[in-house]
């Protein structure tokens, strides 16, 4: 039977325990686990990665309004086109409340309000299930009113942008401002309703890095359409409809409707 030195055995056991204790302490330190989890969360929670395309509500009323709005805006524009060419300012001014009512109805019935959970707005009710929160609540109305205020604040900035892009500055001021108001109602109001004042979402929208949907597609289409609408103005055709800002407004409406439809169907979820 081998002889074991008691002193050597006890000292080696103490050394092993001393070495093993820091190792186990390091593995079970709560601070290190919190640091690792926070690092992992920070690395995977990019604002651009979490921004999702806006989904239209699946209620029958939402789907009806979604498809009826383009037809209603087109009919309104075509019905008033001759008067718009003859006297643009009163026609654009009188049409503003109508377009605002159209956009307000579209937002309240079809779009999720800012801060509203996506599952609540997109889940289809089961057969026989009593809908909860189906009525337009005070929170969505407040969100719509806030979006209206933000749209009004953004209108002068759109006016200045039009002037910088070549709109008449010393003349036709009311023409340009009303055109900017129509463009703000079409392209910006739905975005204010769904995103509110979320800085990360607006950074993505302003940098054209947001995923395409009906709201963002409408913005892109409206801006591009308004820009292309300026092409016929300097041409020597001597047509009445070449007056400022008839073609700009026509391009804004046409581009908004096209971008909204394509963004909500063919290019939904895609990015530039």
For each of the chain's 272 residues, which pLDDT tens digit applies? 444 444 444 444 433 444 344 443 444 443 444 334 333 333 434 555 578 999 999 999 999 999 999 999 999 999 999 999 999 999 999 999 999 999 999 999 999 999 776 555 455 555 555 544 444 567 899 999 999 999 999 999 999 999 999 999 889 999 999 999 999 999 999 999 999 999 999 999 999 999 999 999 999 999 999 999 999 998 888 899 999 999 999 999 999 999 999 999 999 999 98
pLDDT of residue 32: 40
CB burial of residue 195 (10 Å; 0-12, 13-18, 19+): buried
CA atoms within 13 A on the CB side of 74: 10
pLDDT of residue 1: 41
Task: Give CA–CA dist 181/145, Å, rounded.
Answer: 16
Report residue 172 as tokens: 């036709």
Residue 247 · residue 229 · CB < 8 Å: yes
pLDDT of residue 28: 40
Residue 211 · residue 52 · CB < 8 Å: yes
The reported pTM is: 0.77
Cα radius of gyration (the chain): 29
Q: Which helix (H) or strand (E) holds 30?
A: helix 30-44
The domain segmentation of the chain, as residue ranges, is: 53-121+135-264
Instruction: Give the residue ranges of DSSP H helices in 212-245.
Output: 214-229
pLDDT of residue 126: 58
Task: Give CA–CA dist 126/145, Å, rounded.
Answer: 31
Closest by Cα among 51, 190, 181 to 108: 190
Task: Give CA–CA dist 183/189, Å, rounded.
Answer: 9
């Amino acid at each position: 039977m081998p002889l074991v030195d008691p002193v050597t055995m006890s000292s080696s056991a103490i050394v092993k325990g001393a070495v093993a204790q820091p190792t186990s302490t390091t593995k079970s330190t709560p601070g290190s686990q919190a640091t690792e989890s926070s690092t992992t969360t920070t690395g995977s929670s990019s604002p651009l990665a979490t921004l999702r395309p806006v989904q239209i509500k699946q209620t029958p009323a939402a789907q009806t309004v979604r498809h009826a709005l383009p037809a209603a805006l087109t009919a309104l524009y075509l019905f008033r086109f001759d008067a718009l060419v003859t006297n643009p300012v009163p026609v654009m001014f009188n049409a503003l409340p109508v377009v605002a009512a159209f956009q307000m109805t579209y937002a309240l019935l079809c779009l999720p309000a800012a801060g509203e959970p996506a599952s609540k707005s997109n889940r289809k009710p089961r057969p026989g299930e009593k809908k909860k929160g189906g009525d337009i609540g005070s929170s969505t109305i407040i969100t719509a009113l806030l979006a209206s205020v933000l749209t009004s604040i953004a209108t002068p900035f759109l006016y200045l942008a039009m002037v910088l892009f070549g709109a008449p500055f010393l003349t036709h001021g009311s023409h340009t401002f009303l055109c900017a108001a129509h463009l703000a109602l079409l392209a910006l109001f739905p975005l204010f309703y769904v995103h509110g004042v979320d800085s990360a979402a607006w950074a993505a929208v302003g940098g054209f890095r947001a995923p395409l949907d009906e709201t963002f597609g409408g913005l892109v289409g409206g801006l591009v359409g308004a820009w292309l609408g300026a092409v016929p103005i300097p041409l020597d055709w001597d047509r009445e409809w070449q007056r400022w800002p008839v073609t700009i407004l026509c391009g804004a409406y046409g581009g908004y409707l096209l971008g909204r439809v394509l963004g909500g169907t063919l290019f939904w979820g895609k990015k530039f």
